[in-house]
Amino acid sequence: MEMVIDGTWQAATEGETFAVLNPRDGSVVDHVPLAGPQDADRAIRAAETAMAGWRVTPMTERVAVQKACAQAMRDRAGEVGALLHAELGRPLMGCVGEILRSADLLDIYAEEGLRLVAEMPLGSAPGERIIVTRDPVGVVVAITPFNYPVTLLMFKLGAALIAGCAVVAKPSEDTPLSTLKLAEVFHDAGLPKGLFNVVTGKRALGEALVAHKIPRKIAFTGSVPAGKAIAAAAAGTMKRLTLELGGHSAAIVCADADIDKAAAAIARHGFANTGQFCYRVNRVYVERPVYDAFLRNLSDRASALTLAPAGGDGDLGPLVNEKILAVSERQVADARARGGRILTGGARPMGPGFAGGHYFPPTVVAETTPEMLLMREETFGPVIGVQPVDSAAEALRLANGSEFGLAGFVFTHDLGRGLALCEGLEAGSVWLNDIQRSSHHVPFGGVKQSGLGREKGRYGVEAYLEYKTMYLSWEVPA
């Protein structure tokens, strides 16, 4: 596939390409352009030209276009989902589900656009008025990761478009195909050319996009080191930032919790997408009276999950590449060396259907300690560490003893204790007694080194708008 710039398929200026691989077996799915600074400039200038007309397009028309794009996503979810399945390895139904859920977010952003208003304070003198309005921030660069490439792009694209901005998207080099196909879907649905450009490449391309003088905002989801580098580079041109930089989310299981429900929620959430998402449960702190019972329940649920081999079906797909897989292997080896007990999983499967892919089974590690890599560093894989604690207060201290602050989870029958723990957790989102998907209507983002800013709902749209104050004066008739 080629890139999408100004509504047309285009090759890289230098003509180079790179392969997109299937993580189930290492086969080549397709090739995409290896873009560089000249391609970044072409895409950004196309976005700037397109935005001049889009920013003055009436909101009702923007909403109609965005809703048409959302419906087109639903109509072609199987087509886009098949590409996502091929490049990410996740089971097909999960990939189609991502497309459908992302379409819902696009609709929600469109509806939030209709709620945007200007204000006119009433405290002015006769012949004077002040209007506080909102302008689109400008051309947006959206840089997205591999794990949920469509959803995490919609976090940014849907909000930017409805706010009146144009977007240049750089998808992960591991999963660019679904984003490229999505651009085709949007243009077929009537999105004006130049508003959604997709350029494919590696680090040099990202650096060129961030450093370019025209974009006014960078929206990025990815690692902490990459986010810090983007923030430093963006400071040179005072670009606005939304950074979602991952997490190392903790769950607290109190002695009075419903152990079956807690284990079910943690297994479902911690191993979804083979552990490849930012706000998954990475570590669990369990009060000692229920520690053994919780371990049995969680490990039974983990061992019941199946891996989907190349050409076969199962609950979980492979990890996206060897680098991501190596993190899980390294953390499990470190935990074992430090006295951790591997209850299930822990070793890379081999044999037919697995040998050529990046597979790692759902893994539960007991008797973990704060010194272990698993309890300190983001895994981004299907490994959960469990540590016994003597009190909820100790669990809270350990949960907060992290540089991350994206999500937290609490399980207890005592509502007062639960609310106190939720309020005490240093995290952008906290769940009590169950773990649902993050809602499209409320803000999503983290504190500490988990990032800057919020996405989703009206909070996401506001991140792509700038306040403007206009002072009006006129002659008052005598």
Going along the chain from its start, the domains and CATH numbers come out as 3-246+445-469 (3.40.605.10), 249-403+407-432 (3.40.309.10)
- Given the structure tokens 């609709």, which residue do they identify? 107
Can you tell me the distance from the alpha carbon of 267 to that of 286, in angstroms, rounded to the nearest whole number? Answer: 15
Contacts of residue 330, defined as CB under 8 A and 6 or more positions apart, other chains included, come to 373
- Per-residue tens of pLDDT for the chain, all 478 residues: 999 999 999 999 999 999 999 999 999 999 999 999 999 999 999 999 999 999 999 999 999 999 999 999 999 999 999 999 999 999 999 999 999 999 999 999 999 999 999 999 998 899 999 999 999 999 999 999 999 999 999 999 999 999 999 999 999 999 999 999 999 999 999 999 999 999 999 999 999 999 999 999 999 999 999 999 999 999 999 999 999 998 999 999 999 999 999 999 999 999 999 999 999 999 999 999 999 999 999 999 999 999 999 989 999 999 999 999 999 999 999 999 999 999 999 999 998 999 899 999 999 999 999 999 999 999 999 999 999 999 999 999 999 999 999 999 999 999 999 999 999 999 999 999 999 999 999 999 999 999 999 999 999 999 999 999 999 999 998 8
For position 11, what pLDDT does the model report?
98
Residue 397 token pair: 């201290």
Q: What is d(CA 455, CA 448) in angstroms, rounded to the nearest whole number?
A: 16
What pLDDT does residue 478 have?
A: 80
Cα 99–chain centre separation = 14
Per-residue pLDDT of 383-400, as tens digits, reads 999 999 999 999 999 999
Catalytic residues: 244, 278
**pLDDT in the model for residue 226:** 96
204 phi and psi, to 5 degrees?
Answer: -60, -35
Reported as type and span, the H/E element at residue 386 is: strand 383-389
What does DSSP say about strands 140-143 and 17-21: parallel, antiparallel, or unpaired?
Answer: unpaired
- What's the pLDDT at 395? 98
Query: Is the CB of residue 282 less than 8 Å from the CB of residue 379?
Result: yes
Distance CA 49, CA 75 (A): 30
